[in-house]
Structure formats: structure tokens, C-alpha cells
């Protein structure tokens, strides 16, 4: 066979080779060209007696088949003599299979010291002495393959084999360390845990099983692990009966107790599920990886807590990302829920509830809290709670609310929500838990709304933690600049809850009485919506797009049907608020303020599909760290001697921002490449900033490592050969990146344009201008001026078919027809101008003026 794995010219020692597995290993190696030392003491399976017959018989078998072999009858405790036999006979040694073993099975209750000692001497001490004698020869020649024979009893334990289990798992640890020490000299070391029929297993397995578990099913794996083409090292395999598998250590994610806080047996008991849960298991491969959680925790400091709140576990927790969507119907329902449009003839209020409003449909900005809160409530209903928060709903109240709009809400959107526990404060007897939720436009990735939901937890304070900042916003000692009084409806809570708050406290009379209320109470966030709407009416001329943020503290409850009085004081760009219930003269919202914009902020344009598809995926291409790696690449090219000197491949995993780099100082002339390339000998993980500090000499790598800021896996010692990075890092960090040519802005920032976002409309109307220039007869057929009002993002365009055919952005002084539709629906109209009727009937198109002109939109067909 041309591709047969051969051992020609290789010399192997197999201990315990007179019978069973050892004999099978020796015969296979010899049949493939190896010269084999057949070592066997010739004793019994329990360690008694000695004879030469077993070894001689195997040697005779090998020679009869045309192979080369020599017998050795020494005990493995005389390992030097065994190795010397190989050297005297063939002047070299390449392979050692430590296979010799005995059994002294008995229960631990009955086990004697001799039972323990004999097992230790044959298995562990014997393997040590044979390997120690062979080691210098393998190192000197720069090649070796070592195989140790472990056992399932060592891995899992087995009744009556405490001594044997001890020795066999000890061999695994022995092999793992030799694999680390031998790697640089091409000495590869592995262990197998075989199950096969032999003198040793016939005492613990039924005869028919022993007969079926032939040693020949194990030896092929042993041979492969000893072959020069096999690069596996430091591994453990189970093998037998045709089954072969690699094993690895598995560790639970565990529980980390922050330092500086007492760790009690009760705390361990409470955390037992986390300590023992393998759902998120890890698989450490070396001491550095095993120690990493400990190293990470050395710089920690407990923030405290109690039975209700574990600050260390909860603070900073990031909730699973959630999604939601809304449209004009949801916004209209919310607006009605917070009292909007009680006068249906009030055009300013009508814009919150009527999608075809002449001046455009405008979402109430306080709706920004609804998707975020609903995502939190949904996770709560599904039992998804932040770790360390161990209180029930009976202890919580909505204490404060902060909502910030990063730009005006679009009339409809798909959203992604990212939440985290931002702050936890100890207020003495009680506690505050602040949950931050940022909502993003799912299409553009643009952040739209940031919410901070402050939960007041009764009886959960008192651990001596931070009290938090003072958030009091007292009203001025003067009369309010504006006051709006408005009565809520008796069914206001029932209407508001349709926006998502399912708490029965706001709907179920019996449930409310059980909590001490005469009837269901109004949602605090409903009052929040009333107050926001009042500020817009009083200080933003009814334009909700000028609304930037609102912060309130909920001071008391409101009953549906009560009258709200919102008092407002202008204070620079903010409005300070206090809201009272008129009937009871109770302050229900205090320490509150709304911030307003001076002008309407712009929306981001939606990315074109082609631009998204062609966007480069490489990370960090122009970053400072990328320039450092460029400098390292140049340095390696100038110093090819580094490859022979260092002889390792390094993988750098940088975070904040994320990037991955491979530094190959082992192969060819050396290389620096972005991304993970091949198998690394040593991996280093640290932040981009710490990498720059380390390579510029501003940070000590050792301090970064012991401070938990630098994680090293694989060959830890190899990391000590990177001292040369300090010579090139500072140069790379300081070098300026190539100057990029500035692309022309696609929008109209600062130009006074009437549209604030491009979307698809800009490209469509540009294409229409070109079409009308080529075919002016299309405009003459229209014979009218059409005003297009595009939303989401917003823009205005005029198509003039009366005079010289033209298309311009802006507003017409007088238009024959005005069309209002979204950017997305404009794209649909371009694909099919006949869609105008469908869009109109579904409330997606508003038409004003000469409606007959809406049938003359054929000039739009297939613009792009």
C-alpha cells in the first residue's frame, strides 16, 4: 500500500509487551517496520514472580514475520536498563509506550499498604523511570513519541480499584506536563484509556466480553499516536471494541464571589445551582485557562448586597436582545390612552391620532418608553430576570422614569432593544434598581430612544452601598409660566393598558382592593404621557419633534376620572414640571423636567441594500492597532532571524473594538496577517487600548496579566519572547494613517434643504429629473405641479409639468396636487403607478388638491 503508515528506521520500547495490549502494540509496530524492545518481567497479573518466556515468545513471532525485535526482562523500576537495551542494540530510540501494569484489586476497607505501594511502583514509578531514562536521548535528537496507558478507572473511578485509579489518573497528569515540556523538541506525548481483553481485565469482566474486546482494536490508535505524521499532543483518548474518542475537561461557568465580601457556607448553598450547572460549560486546555477566572477576580471588589439584591451578580447584567415593531395604529392608540384629541377639532392634537393629517402624522415622543417597557415586562412574564435580583412584584414600585429621544420617532418602525442593569443604589431601608434600555432602528442601526426605568424596591436596602446621585429638581419659588388642567376619563386606565401594561392593578377592582386601593389606579406612565403632551402644547407650539427628553419621579397615585394640573416653569432649554391631582391637592409627579430642542433634529438615511452588501467586513483597518501591526510586519521583514529565535505562532484577540491578528514567527520568513490563520501556539486577549499601551512601553505585560487585563492561553512561556514588540509598537502607534479622500456629502447639511434624510426618494427624484430632460413630453402630458411630501425619512420634492419640465427639492408656492406617503411606499409606487389606489384605500397615501391628477403618475414607472 503506497499510503501505508510506516515506522521504518524507528526504534520503539513497549513495556509489558509479553501479553495483551503490549503484545498487540509491539506486533503492529514491528509489522510496519519498527525495531521493537519487547519488555516484560514475566510475572503474574498481581505482580508476583518473573520469567523470560513471555517476552521471548513475542520476539520470536516478530522475527518469524521478518521483523526486528529484542527481549528485555527487567522491571520497569529499572527503566535505565530497558532504555540501554535499545541503545546497545540499535544506537537510537524514538518511541516509548508505557504499557506495563498489574492489578491488586480490593475494597479500600481491605486494602493494605503493600497493595497501594505495588500499584504505585509498577504504574507510576515504573513509567517515570523508563521515561526519564529515555528523555535526554529524545531531546538530543529533536524527536520522540511517548504514549502512556491510563484507564477508565482513573477517569471515572471504580469500586475496588482505589490504588489502580490513583495511578492511572496520575499518568494522565504526567503525560500532560511532558507534552508541554517536550513540544519545543518535537517530543509529542499522549495517553490512552483502553478497554481490552487481557489477564488484567478477565478478573473484572465476563469471559464473553473479554473475548470480544480484542487488543487489536486498540493498537491502531496507539500506532497512529506514535507516528511521525501525527501532531497530536497532550491528549487523552478512550478506545476499545472499535470505539475511539478524545476526552477533554469540562467546567461549569461557575459562580464568582467578588472579593472583599464574606463568602459563607450559606452563600455557597444558595449558589449551588450556578456552581454545578453545565449549561454554559467551558473547556480549559491549560493552567493559564484554568486560572483565568481566578485571575480575573483578583482585582474585583464586592459592591455588597443582601438576600433581595446581590449587587455583584446584577449590576451590569445585559438582558437578551429583544425586538418589536409599531405603526400608526399603535401610536394613535397610545395617544388616546394619554388623553390626546379629547377635542377632535384641535388640529394640533389630531396629528397624534390621524395618519393622514394635513401637516403630517406626529408620534407623541413619550411613546418612546412603551416598546422598552413592554420588552422588560415580556421578559419578566417569561421568567427572564437579571441574576441577583431576588424580589417579587409585591416589593416594587415604578419610582422614576427618564426617556430620551435621540431623534423624533418615525410613524412606524421595527426596533431592537438592548437592556442592562445600569445602577443599583442603597437608600437605607429601600433600594433603587435602574434598568437602561436603548432602542435601535432595526433597519439603520441608529439609536432612537434611551430609557432609564428606576424601580423602587421596598425593604431591600441597608447593605451600606452607594446612595446614588441627588436627582431632585425643585420648582422655582415663583408662579408657573404655564398651567394646563385636564380631566382624565373614568376608563382611562382601561384604555391606556391596551398599549401593553398588563398589571391587573389597573383593571381588576378586587385585585386593587387587595392592595389597599378603592379602585384600579391609573398607570404612572399614563400621567407621564399627559405631562409630556402638556409641555409640547405649552412650550413647543404643538410640535412633538422638538421634544428631547423627560425625567420624572412618581410621587403618588392617580385614580381614573381625577383631574390633573400640570404646572410648568421655563428654565433655559428645559421646562421644570410639577403635576397635581386637583381633587385631593396631591403632588403625583415631582422632581421632573423636559428638555427641548431648538430645532428639529435630522434622521439618518436608510442604508441602500447594495451599500450594505458591499460594505467591507474587515475590522480595525484604519485603527492605531492596525498601524502597529503594519509596523510589526515591516520589522519582521527586516529581521528574519526572529523566526528561528522565537519559533512560535501568536494569535492576538483585541477587543473594544474587536479585531484579530496572527503573528507567525515559526514558518517561512514570518508573517503578520489579520484574522485567525492556522493553529496558534500562544493566544493573547486584551483590549485594543491595553495592546497599544503594552507595545508602546506604557504598560507592563506582567502587570496586565496578573491584573486580569491580559489573558494568555496555550504556551504561556512563549509570550515571554515578544519583548521586541516594544521596539516597534510606539512607532506604529504614532504613525499617521494614509489620508482618505473625502467623499461628497449625499445629504444637504447646512444647505437649507427642505429634506432631512435621503432614503430612496433622493435617488428616485434625481432619476425622474433625468427622465424628464430626455422626454419632456411626459411633463407636458401631466400639465400640473405636484408636491410630494415624503416621510420616514422626511423630505419635500416638486415636480413641475406646466412650464419648463423640472424636479426640485423643496415646497411649491402653489401645487395642483399634493401627495403625502412614506419613502418605502414611494418605492412601491415607482414599481407600479397603479398602486396609488391601493395605497390610498389603506391609508398610506394622502391626496389633496385635484385628485384626478393622481391617475397621471405613469411618468414614475420603473425609474430605477
Q: Which among 214, 210, 212 has a CA at the least distance from the CA of 201? A: 210
CA distance 727 to 15: 51
Whether residue 164 lies in the annotated active site:
yes
Cell reading at 525 = 406612565
Is omega for the bond preceding 723 within 30 degrees of 0, making it cis?
no
Alpha helices in 262-317 (DSSP H): 265-270, 272-276, 287-298, 311-314
At a CB cut-off of 8 Å and minimum separation 6, what does 510 contact?
Answer: none
Q: Maximum CA pair distance of the chain?
A: 118
CA distance 224 to 231: 10
Q: How far, CA to CA in Å, does 609 sit from each of 612, 625, 756?
A: 5, 30, 20
CA distance 582 to 568: 15
Spatial strand order of the sheet with 795-800 comes to: 806-809, 795-800, 785-791, 817-822, 846-849
Q: How far, CA to CA in Å, does 775 sit from each of 94, 765, 782, 784?
A: 86, 15, 12, 16
**Among the options 143, 164, 402, 650, which is catalytic?**
164
How many angstroms from the chain centroid is the CA of residue 55? 58
Beta-ladder partners of 397: 456
Task: Decide if 171 contacts 154 (C-beta within 8 A).
Answer: yes
Cell 435621540 identifies what position? 406
Q: Which among 704, 700, 823, 808 has a CA at the least distance from the CA of 759? A: 823
Q: How far, CA to CA in Å, does 250 sit from each of 177, 277, 283?
A: 19, 11, 5
Q: Helix, strand or coil for residue 17?
A: coil
How many angstroms from the chain centroid is the CA of residue 529? 36
CA distance 789 to 796: 5
Q: Which among 823, 832, 763 has a CA at the least distance from the CA of 792? A: 823
CA distance 166 to 654: 42
CA distance 669 to 33: 36
**How many C-beta neighbours within 10 Å does residue 474 have?**
9
Burial of 326 (0-12, 13-18, 19+ CB in 10 A): buried
Catalytic residue positions, numbered: 164
Amino acid at each position: 500500500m503506497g499510503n501505508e503508515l510506516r515506522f521504518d528506521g524507528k526504534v520503539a520500547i513497549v513495556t509489558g509487551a509479553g501479553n495483551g495490549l503490549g503484545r498487540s502494540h509491539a506486533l503492529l509496530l514491528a509489522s510496519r517496520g519498527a525495531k521493537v524492545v519487547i519488555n516484560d518481567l514475566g510475572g503474574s497479573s498481581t505482580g508476583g514472580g518473573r520469567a523470560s518466556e513471555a517476552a521471548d515468545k513475542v520476539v520470536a513471532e516478530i522475527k518469524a514475520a521478518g521483523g526486528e525485535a529484542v527481549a528485555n526482562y527487567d522491571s520497569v523500576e529499572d527503566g535505565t536498563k530497558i532504555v540501554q537495551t535499545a541503545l546497545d542494540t540499535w544506537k537510537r530510540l524514538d518511541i516509548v509506550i508505557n504499557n506495563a501494569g498489574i492489578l491488586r484489586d480490593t475494597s479500600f476497607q481491605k486494602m493494605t499498604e503493600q497493595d497501594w505501594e505495588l500499584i504505585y511502583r509498577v504504574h507510576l514509578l515504573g513509567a517515570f523511570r523508563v521515561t526519564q531514562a529515555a528523555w535526554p536521548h529524545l531531546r538530543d535528537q529533536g524527536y520522540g513519541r511517548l504514549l502512556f496507558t491510563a484507564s477508565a478507572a482513573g477517569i471515572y473511578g471504580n469500586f475496588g480499584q482505589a490504588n489502580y485509579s490513583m495511578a492511572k489518573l496520575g499518568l494522565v497528569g504526567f503525560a500532560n506536563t511532558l507534552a508541554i515540556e517536550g513540544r519545543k523538541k518535537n517530543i509529542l506525548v499522549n495517553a490512552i484509556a483502553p478497554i481490552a481483553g487481557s489477564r488484567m481485565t478477565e478478573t473484572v469482566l465476563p469471559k464473553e466480553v473479554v473475548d470480544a474486546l480484542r487488543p487489536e482494536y486498540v493498537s491502531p490508535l496507539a500506532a497512529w499516536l506514535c507516528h511521525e505524521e501525527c501532531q497530536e499532543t497532550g491528549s487523552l483518548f478512550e478506545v476499545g471494541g472499535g470505539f475511539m474518542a478524545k476526552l477533554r475537561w469540562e467546567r461549569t461557568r461557575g459562580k464568582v464571589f467578588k472579593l472583599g465580601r464574606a463568602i459563607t457556607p450559606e452563600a455557597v448553598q444558595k449558589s449551588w445551582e450556578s456552581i454545578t450547572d453545565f449549561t454554559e460549560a467551558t473547556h480549559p486546555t491549560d493552567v493559564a485557562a484554568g486560572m483565568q477566572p481566578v485571575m480575573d477576580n483578583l482585582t474585583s471588589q464586592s459592591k455588597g448586597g443582601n438576600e433581595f439584591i446581590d449587587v455583584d451578580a446584577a449590576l451590569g447584567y445585559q438582558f437578551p436582545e429583544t425586538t418589536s415593531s409599531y405603526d400608526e395604529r399603535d401610536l394613535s392608540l397610545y395617544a388616546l390612552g394619554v388623553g390626546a384629541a379629547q377635542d377632535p377639532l384641535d388640529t394640533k392634537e389630531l396629528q397624534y391620532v390621524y395618519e393622514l393629517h394635513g401637516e403630517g402624522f406626529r408620534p407623541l415622543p413619550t411613546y418612546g418608553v412603551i416598546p422598552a417597557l413592554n420588552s422588560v415586562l415580556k421578559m419578566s412574564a417569561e421568567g427572564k430576570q437579571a441574576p441577583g435580583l431576588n424580589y417579587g412584584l409585591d416589593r416594587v414600585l415604578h419610582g422614576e422614569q427618564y426617556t430620551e429621544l435621540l431623534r423624533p420617532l418615525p410613524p412606524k418602525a421595527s426596533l431592537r432593544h438592548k437592556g442592562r442593569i445600569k445602577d443599583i443604589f442603597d437608600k437605607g431601608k429601600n433600594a433603587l434598581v435602574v434598568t437602561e434600555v436603548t432602542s435601535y432602528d432595526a433597519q439603520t442601526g441608529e439609536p432612537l430612544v434611551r430609557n432609564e426605568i428606576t424601580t423602587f424596591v421596598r425593604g431591600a436596602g441597608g447593605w451600606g452601598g452607594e446612595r446614588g446621585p441627588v436627582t431632585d429638581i425643585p420648582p422655582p419659588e415663583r408662579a408657573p409660566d404655564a398651567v394646563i388642567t385636564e380631566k382624565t376619563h373614568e376608563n382611562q386606565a382601561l384604555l391606556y393598558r391596551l398599549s401593553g401594561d398588563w398589571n391587573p392593578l389597573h383593571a381588576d377592582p378586587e385585585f386593587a382592593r387587595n392592595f389597599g386601593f378603592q379602585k384600579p389606579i391609573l398607570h404612572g406612565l399614563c400621567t407621564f404621557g399627559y405631562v409630556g403632551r402638556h409641555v409640547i402644547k405649552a412650550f413647543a407650539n404643538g410640535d412633538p419633534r422638538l421634544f428631547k427628553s423627560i425625567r420624572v419621579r412618581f410621587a403618588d397615585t392617580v385614580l381614573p376620572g381625577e383631574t390633573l394640573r400640570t404646572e410648568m416653569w421655563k428654565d433655559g432649554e428645559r421646562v421644570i414640571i410639577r403635576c397635581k391631582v386637583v381633587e385631593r391637592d396631591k403632588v403625583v409627579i415631582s422632581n421632573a423636567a423636559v428638555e427641548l430642542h431648538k430645532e428639529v433634529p435630522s434622521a439618518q438615511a436608510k442604508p441602500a441594500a447594495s451599500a450594505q452588501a458591499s460594505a467591507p467586513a474587515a475590522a480595525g483597518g484604519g485603527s492605531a492597532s492596525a498601524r502597529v501591526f503594519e509596523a510589526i510586519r515591516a520589522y519582521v521583514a527586516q529581521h528574519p532571524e526572529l523566526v528561528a529565535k522565537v519559533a512560535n505562532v501568536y494569535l492576538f484577540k483585541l477587543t473594544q473594538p474587536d479585531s484579530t491578528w496572527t503573528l507567525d514567527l515559526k514558518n517561512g520568513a514570518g508573517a503578520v496577517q489579520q484574522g485567525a490563520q492556522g493553529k496558534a501556539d500562544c493566544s493573547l486577549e486584551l483590549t485594543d487600548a491595553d495592546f497599544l499601551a503594552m507595545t508602546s512601553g506604557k504598560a507592563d505585560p506582567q502587570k496586565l496579566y496578573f491584573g486580569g487585563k491580559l489573558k494568555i492561553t496555550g504556551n504561556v512561556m512563549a509570550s515571554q519572547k515578544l519583548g521586541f514588540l516594544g521596539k516597534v509598537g510606539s512607532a506604529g502607534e504614532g504613525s499617521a494613517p494614509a489620508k482618505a479622500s473625502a467623499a461628497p456629502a449625499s445629504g444637504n447639511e447646512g444647505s437649507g434643504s427642505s429634506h432631512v434624510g435621503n432614503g430612496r426618494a433622493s435617488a428616485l427624484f434625481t432619476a425622474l429629473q433625468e427622465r424628464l430632460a430626455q422626454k419632456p413630453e411626459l411633463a407636458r402630458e401631466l400639465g400640473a405641479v405636484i408636491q410630494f411630501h415624503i416621510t420616514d425619512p422626511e423630505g419635500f420634492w416638486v415636480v413641475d409639468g406646466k412650464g419648463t419640465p423640472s424636479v426640485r427639492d423643496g415646497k411649491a408656492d402653489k401645487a395642483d396636487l399634493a401627495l403625502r406617503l412614506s419613502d418605502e411606499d414611494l418605492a412601491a409606487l415607482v414599481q407600479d403607478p397603479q398602486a396609488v389606489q391601493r395605497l390610498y384605500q389603506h391609508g398610506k397615501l394622502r391626496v389633496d388638491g385635484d385628485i384626478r391628477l393622481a391617475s397621471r403618475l405613469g411618468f414614475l414607472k420603473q425609474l430605477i
